[in-house]
Amino acid sequence: MDTSFPETTDGNRVQDCASVGEWKVWSFDEVSSTSDVAREHPAWSAICASRQRKGRGRTGRAWVSDEGGLWLSAVIPTPGELSRWQILPLGVGWALMEVVRGLGGEDVRLRWPNDIMMGKRKLAGLLVERFHSDRVVLGIGMNIRNSPDKVDPALANIPTTLVEHVPEVPEINELIRVILAEISKLQKLIATGNFVKICEDLNRSWSCQEVELSLRGKSNKKRVFFEGVNDKGDLLVRSENQAQMSYAAAEVELLRELD
């Protein structure tokens, strides 16, 4: 055990530190948010915890992070032009979906931009934050054996857990190893400009359907047909009059699937 980093800024003690490929993985019992701990860590650090007191999700929402789930933040180096890395959040969604499929989760799908869904229920979510110009913190929350809807009854019928969908769930540490290996591969594909190959697979993974789109700073909502993403990671939609439109992820306030 490495004792050179005994405490986080919020006073939680490290339980373990292990090397996994190029990653250094710090494990905690409980932290406020793994992404806050990861914030000041160098590239190729990963922080995981059994519980988060203040897990956060996209658009400022709270993320229930009870015992039994996978709460992980990985610090990914993003060399070169920033625009190249716009595709990363989508790519990680795709990589995680492949991990779940590899475990036998056949009904896994992506909901734009990067929610990992099992049918209509959410299995995992991703939060990518940039605190430094040379790296991003990728937060992954995946429900494994936990019960988020017991912690917050407002979540009834919204999340699902991995144990409900795959025949054998690996230990969380093993799952973290597999996920980090996939992130390493993806990082190299993007760093070398080869992500376009994955983009085609990614676009086959969406279930094309009618969605309601709200854009930032615009009050009206549009009903459009979801068509996937382009190789920059921009959202592609088609309107009823057949015109195709593209939007950068930052322009989109909300995309809601319509039944």
Give contact residues for ligand BTN (rule: CB under 6 A). Answer: 33-35, 52, 55-58, 61, 63, 65, 71-73, 115, 125-127, 139-141
| C-beta separation of 123 from 143 below 8 A | yes
End-to-end CA distance of the chain: 51
Peptide bond between residue 148 and the one before it cis (omega within 30 degrees of 0):
no
How far does CA 82 lie from the centroid of its chain?
19
**Of 95 and 127, CB closest to ligand BTN:** 127
Strand, helix or coil for residue 117: strand
Per the listing, tokens 């000041």 go with 40
**Of 155 and 245, CB closest to ligand BTN:** 155
Picking from 233, 256, 258, the residue whose alpha carbon sits closest to that of residue 247 is 233
**Of 56 and 165, CB closest to ligand BTN:** 56
Give me the residue whose beta carbon is nearest to ligand BTN.
125
Shortest distance, position 180 Cβ to ligand BTN, whole Å: 14
The pair of structure tokens assigned to 256 is 């809601």
**Of 115 and 231, CB closest to ligand BTN:** 115
Shortest distance, position 255 Cβ to ligand BTN, whole Å: 13
Shortest distance, position 77 Cβ to ligand BTN, whole Å: 18
**Of 140 and 169, CB closest to ligand BTN:** 140
Q: Could you tell me which residues are beta bridge partners of residue 110? A: 116
Shortest distance, position 196 Cβ to ligand BTN, whole Å: 26
Shortest distance, position 146 Cβ to ligand BTN, whole Å: 11
Q: What residues have CB less than 8 Å from 54, skipping those under 6 apart?
A: 32, 33, 62
